[in-house]
Structure 1
Amino acid sequence: MKNKYTLSQKENIFLAKKVLVRAIYNSARLEGINVTFPQTKTIMEGVSVSNVSVDDVQTILNLRNAWRYVLNHLKTPFDLDFAKKINGYVSYNESLDWGVLRYGNVGITDVAYQPDVPDEKEVKKQLDDLLKIENETERAITYMLWGMRSQLFWDGNKRTSTICANKILIENGNGILTVPENQLEEFNERLSAFYETNDYSKINQFLYDKCLFGIDYV
């Protein structure tokens, strides 16, 4: 896999800020939250909206705060502690526990695969190996999928993994990874198959082609 985009970090930060509302809206839709794009923007600005539940507002504000943390800590090396920090923002007041590795069993809806309870030593070893992937775009996409399938946390694994993948992309100038609403159905189908098989080849190219965005200069 080659880098689809090669931007300066300054350009990538500019891009991230430009598409932030869209990225958060996409993450909310990925979780099945029935919110519109204008409502998402209004909630992110701290203004109350009607017909959106308190829980859904909390989810959007949590995503906003997680993204803010990433953009303010691009110089902080990415590791398991960073991922825990992101989950702490993403799952705040939503999960059984947040910002810590899961310490009990969970299931994933509509798939037979059941992830093991994470062992911190083993998780760190797997993450260290993953972060040695030379190509930054491949590293980010692989992390995102690995984090989702591993279900490291009690809740918010898709959101946490996506934001962490974007941390890797932004600091290296490789674009923004977000699943557009019109790609959700195919993404969910491919993700379910990935959960069952652990076969990255059926989903990583899809993410690269359909869900990775940058600045195209003419």
Structure 2
Amino acid sequence: MTETQAYVDRYQFTPAENKRFARSNFTKLVHTNARFEGVNTTLPQTQTIMDGMSVAGVPVEDVLTIVNLKRGWQYVTTQNKSLTLAMEKQINKIVAAEDALVPGELRQGKGGVDLGSEEFFEPALIDETQEQAFLQKTLADPQTTTTDKALTVMYHNMRQQIFWDGNKRTATLSANKIMMDGGTGLINVPLDKWAKWNELIADYYRTNDMEKVKKWTYDHAIQGLEVRLNKNELDRKSQK
């Protein structure tokens, strides 16, 4: 099986439909993405905060994370042009406004990720020209599905740590911008699968081989509407 076949687009929305689908799921998406920062609010608490009200016992830092993620999702669902590095910078400027050294600016110093057990991954310094070229080449590849492009950009950006902070949040929203532009659903890993997901991400950081985490994400985290499943996916389900 070729890579393109392995990551066939499961859903067939129009971009406008896909954006509406995302907007109808803002609370769930923000609730999930906030977990990157250790936010443990319930779904109703997340909704209350997104509605502009306070919730007793929720730290100000968590409230700001939720509010900024909401703004980030609002931003990516209102952009009609294809994803660019400038757009990724703007996403980061929004979602990491409170915690990045320089929100919206590419990392120009050393950074890294704690993998646990005193293991630390430190990516190379960022070359803006290389990042521009990577994104443009990935999005322009005619042999690759939209879903594959989105997963590739998401995991590349996570491992590269291209920003000072908020890399996973920014990478996830950037990938979902690609998904919406192609009308192929959304990427959203259910919280009950995060333990396994984090294991796979850590392994990818160690090896720089993203295929295992991409395949797992494709199998567990591509979401859409049943009525927008593509014909091949409907046929596959009917044969089970």
TM-score, normalised relative to structure 2: 0.87
- For residue 68 of structure 1, the aligned residue among 69, 74, 90 is 74
Deviates more, 1:190-199 or 1:130-139: 130-139
Contact 2:14 2:183 in 1 (8 A): yes
Cα distance, 1:95 vs structure 2: 1.4
Letter in 2 for 1:120: E
Matched, 1:3 2:13: no
Q: Distance in 2 between matches of 1:8 and 1:125?
A: 27
Please show how residues 113-124 of structure 1 align to structure 2 within 5 Å. Answer: 113-124=121-132
Cα distance, 1:87 vs structure 2: 0.3
Q: Distance in 2 between matches of 1:10 and 1:72?
A: 10
Q: Distance in 2 between matches of 1:191 and 1:132?
A: 26
Q: Distance in 1 between matches of 2:22 and 2:203?
A: 29
Q: CA RMSD in A?
A: 1.3
Deviates more, 1:158-167 or 1:200-209: 200-209
Matched, 1:38 2:52: no
Cα shift readout 1:62-109 (whole Å, capped 9, x = no counterpart)? 100011111111x12211101000000011122111001011111201
Cα distance, 1:125 vs structure 2: 1.8
What count of residue pairs does the alignment treat as equivalent? 217
Matched, 1:47 2:57: no
Letter in 2 for 1:115: P
Q: Distance in 2 between matches of 1:72 and 1:14?
A: 10
Cα distance, 1:117 vs structure 2: 1.6
**Structure 1 gap segments, 5+ residues each:** none
Q: Distance in 2 between matches of 1:95 and 1:10?
A: 32
Secondary structure class of the residue paired with 1:131: helix
Contact 1:112 1:196 in 2 (8 A): no
Larger Rg: 2
TM-score, normalised relative to structure 1: 0.95
Q: Distance in 2 between matches of 1:32 and 1:7?
A: 32
Q: Distance in 1 between matches of 2:169 and 2:216?
A: 18
Q: Distance in 1 between matches of 2:25 and 2:127?
A: 35
- For residue 131 of structure 1, the aligned residue among 124, 139, 149 is 139
**Structure 2 gap segments, 5+ residues each:** 1-6, 228-233, 235-240
Contact 2:91 2:104 in 1 (8 A): yes
- For residue 25 of structure 1, the aligned residue among 28, 31, 37 is 31
**Deviating runs (4+, > 4 A) in structure 1?**
none
Q: Distance in 2 between matches of 1:77 and 1:6?
A: 18
Contact 1:30 1:184 in 2 (8 A): no
Letter in 2 for 1:193: D
Contact 1:80 1:124 in 2 (8 A): yes
Contact 2:105 2:163 in 1 (8 A): yes
Letter in 1 for 2:86: D
